[in-house]
Amino acid sequence: MTEPLETDYLVMGSGIAGLNFALLAAEHGRVVVCTKKRPNDTNTNWAQGGVAAVLASDDSFERHIDDTLVAGDGLCDRKTVELCVNDGPAQVQRLLDIGVRLARDPATGQLDLGREGAHTRHRVVHWEDVTGREIQRALIAAVASHPNITVLDGHIGIDLLSMAKYGGDPACFGAYVLDSKTGEVKTICARATVLATGGTGKVYIYTSNPDVATGDGIAMAYRIGAACGDLEFVQFHPTVLYHPHAGSFLISEALRGEGGILKNARGETFMDAVHPMKSLASRDIVARAIDNELKKSGADCVFLDMTHLDPPFVKSRFPNIYERCLSLGIDITKQPIPVVPAAHYMCGGVKADENGATTIKGLYAIGECAFTGLHGANRLASNSLLEGMVFSHRAAAAVREAPRIRPAQVAPWSYGQATDSNDAIVVTLNWDEIRRFMWSYVGIVRSDKRLERARRRIEILRDEIREYYIDFKVTSDLVELRNLALVAHLIIESARRRKESRGLHFTLDYPDKLPEARHSEIQLTDGPRG
Ligand SMILES: Cc1cc2nc3c(=O)[nH]c(=O)nc-3n(C[C@H](O)[C@H](O)[C@H](O)COP(=O)(O)OP(=O)(O)OC[C@H]3O[C@@H](n4cnc5c(N)ncnc54)[C@H](O)[C@@H]3O)c2cc1C
C-alpha cells in the first residue's frame, strides 16, 4: 500500500489566491500546490483590467467601500468590505514586492490608475491590458524558487479527506488527487487544506473563463458538508468578443471606463435610456440591457464603439485587445467591436470567515471559490484579484496554528471494480447539455418555470453521471463533469430559493427586491448527495 504524502499545507489551485498563499505559508511550513493543468491555466492569467485599490489623492477608503456596497445591492458584509478595501494599498505594494510590473504615468512616475464600470474614481492598477498574465508570471517565478513549495501540475483534486469517514467530526485532513498523466490517485495529508480552485464559468455554454473553471472546490467542499452560499449570484460579463474564431475573449470593462460606448446594430446608444451611468452602469444592468436588446431585435450581438477615441491612445492602453481583434479582421480604432454577454464570475462559493476558514475544521477557501461576503449580490469590477490577495494573506497567517488531525491509518483511494470507459461520449454529451440548459434557463433572466425545467434536467443527468462514475475508472474529465453537474444543481437550488430580484439574480416572477437582504446558504443536508 502506498503511504500517503504528508505536508503542512495542501493548496488546490495555482491562481493568485493559491500561489500567494503558498509563498506566505512556505515561510512557516511545507506546501504542496496541486493544479489540474499547467500552473498558468487559471482565471487569474486572463484578468485584463487590474486590481482595485485606493491610491489616488481624490479617492478615499469610504468611496471604494461605498462603490462596493452599492454594487453588492444590500448583500455585502460591510466588515469584509472594509477589511479588503483598507488592505488594498498594502496588497498593491505586495504585488510590486513579488516582482509584478504595474503601469506608471510616464510624467509623474506614479502608478497609472484605470477606471472601470461602477467605480466612482480611477483606482485600478494594471499592466497594459494583461494584468492577470503579469501577476501570474511573477507568482510562478517566485514559487519556483522557493525551497518549501512543491507544485504538482496535472494533478486534480477528486475528493477531500474527512474525519467523518473515520467516525469523527467532519474535519478535513487532505485530499485524494488524481495524477492525470499516470492515472494514479495519490493521498495527500495536510494540517490545513486550502481550496483556491477559482470560478464556475464552465457551467455555462458562453463564458469568459478558461476550461479549468468547473467549480471543483465548491463541489468538493459541499460533499464533505461545508456550508456554501450565494451561488445564485453569477456575474455575466456584458462584453465578450462575438466572433466565430474568438473562443472566449473578454473585452475588458476598462474600454467602457475609457469612453467606449455601447450601440445596437442600428447605431443607437441604447444604454442612454437604461441607466444614468449609460455604458458605464454596473455589469448586471449592462448585461441585462444587452440581453433584452438581443431578444428584442433578434440580432446576434451589440457593438462597443471606440472609434471616437484617439487611436494611438486606444492602441497603447489596450494593446492586447487591439492586436487580438485585429488578428480577426477588426480594427477597433476604426470599427465597433461586436460583443455579447457571457458567464464571468461566481460571487458565492464556499462559506469562509475573515481568515478563509470554512465551516469544516482544517479546510480553508480563498479567492473566487470562497463566499466571504465581499461581493454581495454583485461584484464590483477588479475587486476579486484584491480579494484573492487579501484572503490568501490572512489564511496563510491563520493556518500556522492548525493542528494535525488525521486517523492512524488513512484508507487509500478505492479503485473498486471500475473499468476503463468505452463510452466517453456520455461525458461529452452530458457536459454539453448541462452548459446549454444552464444558459437558457438559469442565465441572465430567470423565472420559476425555467428554473423548474433546469431542476428536472439536472436530476436526470446527475443520476446518469453517478452511475457512470461508479462503473468507470476516474479521469479528470469525469471528475470535472461530476463537479460541474453538482455546481449546476447548487446554482439552480439557490436560485429557486431566492424569491426576489437582487443584484445579479433577476427573475420575471419576483421582479422586486424584498425589504430584507438575506444570504442564501446551502449544505449537504439540504439536498441530494454529491
Ligand atoms: C477574462 C477574465 C478577466 C478578468 N478580469 C479581472 C480583473 O481585471 N480584475 C479582477 O479583480 N478580476 C478579474 N477577473 C476575475 C479574476 O481573474 C478571478 O476571480 C481570480 O483570478 C480568481 O483567482 P483564484 O486564485 O481564486 O482562481 P484562479 O485564478 O481561477 O485559479 C484556480 C486554480 O485552481 C485550479 N483547480 C481548479 N480545480 C482544481 C482541482 N480539482 N484540483 C486542482 N486544481 C484545481 C485551476 O487549475 C487553477 O490553477 C477576470 C476573470 C476573467 C475570466
SS (H, E, C) 403-462: CCCCCCCCCCCCCCCCECCCCCHHHHHHHHHHHHHHHHHCCCCECHHHHHHHHHHHHHHH
Please tell me if the CB atom of residue 476 comes closer than 6 angstroms to any atom of ligand 1.
Answer: no
What pLDDT does 37 receive?
Answer: 98
CA distance 362 to 207: 32
For 118-146, give one letter per residue: b (16+ CB within 10 A) or e.
Answer: bbebebbbbbbbbbbbbbbbbbbebbeee
What pLDDT does 415 receive?
Answer: 82
| Mean pLDDT, range 195-222, rounded to an integer | 96
What pLDDT does 115 receive?
Answer: 86
| Mean pLDDT, range 326-338, rounded to an integer | 96
20: which 3 cell numbers?
Answer: 500567494
Q: Is 283 a catalytic residue?
A: yes
Question: How many H-runs (helices) and E-runs (strands) does the chain carry?
Answer: 13, 18
- Predicted confidence (pLDDT) per residue in 3-24, tens digit: 899 999 999 999 999 999 999 9
What pLDDT does 529 receive?
Answer: 42
463: which 3 cell numbers?
Answer: 443520476
What pLDDT does 422 receive?
Answer: 72
| Mean pLDDT, range 296-314, rounded to an integer | 94
| Burial zone of 109 (CB within 10 Å; 0-12 exposed, 13-18 middle, 19+ buried) | exposed
Please tell me if the CB atom of residue 389 comes closer than 6 angstroms to any atom of ligand 1.
Answer: no
| Distance from the alpha carbon of residue 251 to the mean position of ligand 1, in angstroms | 17
423: confidence class by pLDDT, cuts 50, 70, 90: confident
Q: Which atom of ligand 1 is nearest to the CA of 344?
A: 53
| Mean pLDDT, range 112-136, rounded to an integer | 92
Residue nearest to atom 21 of ligand 1 (CA): 44
Q: Which atom of ligand 1 is nearest to the CA of 382?
A: 11
Please tell me if the CB atom of residue 177 comes closer than 6 angstroms to any atom of ligand 1.
Answer: no
Share of the chain above pLDDT 70, in %: 99
3-state secondary structure of 225: coil
What pLDDT does 505 receive?
Answer: 96
What pLDDT does 530 receive?
Answer: 43
What pLDDT does 452 receive?
Answer: 98
Which residue of 345, 384, 481, 487 sits with most ligand 1 atoms within 8 Å of its CB, as the best mutation to test the pocket?
Answer: 384
pLDDT score of 525 more than 80: no
Which residue of 177, 197, 317, 378 sits with most ligand 1 atoms within 8 Å of its CB, as the best mutation to test the pocket?
Answer: 197
297: confidence class by pLDDT, cuts 50, 70, 90: confident
What pLDDT does 1 receive?
Answer: 59
Helix or strand (DSSP H, E) at 284: helix 283-297
| Distance from the alpha carbon of residue 13 to the mean position of ligand 1, in angstroms | 9
13: which 3 cell numbers?
Answer: 489551485
Mean pLDDT taken over the chain = 94
Residue nearest to atom 5 of ligand 1 (CA): 47
Q: Which atom of ligand 1 is nearest to the CA of 220?
A: 41
Please tell me if the CB atom of residue 216 comes closer than 6 angstroms to any atom of ligand 1.
Answer: yes
Alpha carbon 213 to chain centroid, angstroms: 7
Sign of the Cα torsion 516, 517, 522, 523 reads negative
Nearest to 344 by CA among 259, 250, 247: 250
346: confidence class by pLDDT, cuts 50, 70, 90: very high
Which residue of 41, 185, 385, 484 sits with most ligand 1 atoms within 8 Å of its CB, as the best mutation to test the pocket?
Answer: 385
| Distance from the alpha carbon of residue 48 to the mean position of ligand 1, in angstroms | 12
| Mean pLDDT, range 212-228, rounded to an integer | 98
Please tell me if the CB atom of residue 203 comes closer than 6 angstroms to any atom of ligand 1.
Answer: no
CA distance 276 to 364: 41
Please tell me if the CB atom of residue 241 comes closer than 6 angstroms to any atom of ligand 1.
Answer: no
Which residue of 32, 43, 240 sits with most ligand 1 atoms within 8 Å of its CB, as the best mutation to test the pocket?
Answer: 43
Q: Pick the catalytic residue: 123, 283, 379, 450?
A: 283
Any bridge partners for residue 368, and if so which? none
456: confidence class by pLDDT, cuts 50, 70, 90: very high
pLDDT score of 526 more than 70: no
368: which 3 cell numbers?
Answer: 473566487
| Mean pLDDT, range 227-255, rounded to an integer | 91
Nearest to 84 by CA among 72, 74, 101, 99: 72
Please tell me if the CB atom of residue 37 comes closer than 6 angstroms to any atom of ligand 1.
Answer: yes
Long-range pairs of 273-281 with CB within 8 A, sequence gap ≥ 24? 277/117, 277/118, 279/304, 280/117, 280/118, 280/256, 281/117, 281/118
pLDDT score of 247 more than 80: no
Given a contact cutoff of 8 angstroms between Cβ atoms, the answer to whether 407 and 470 are in contact is no
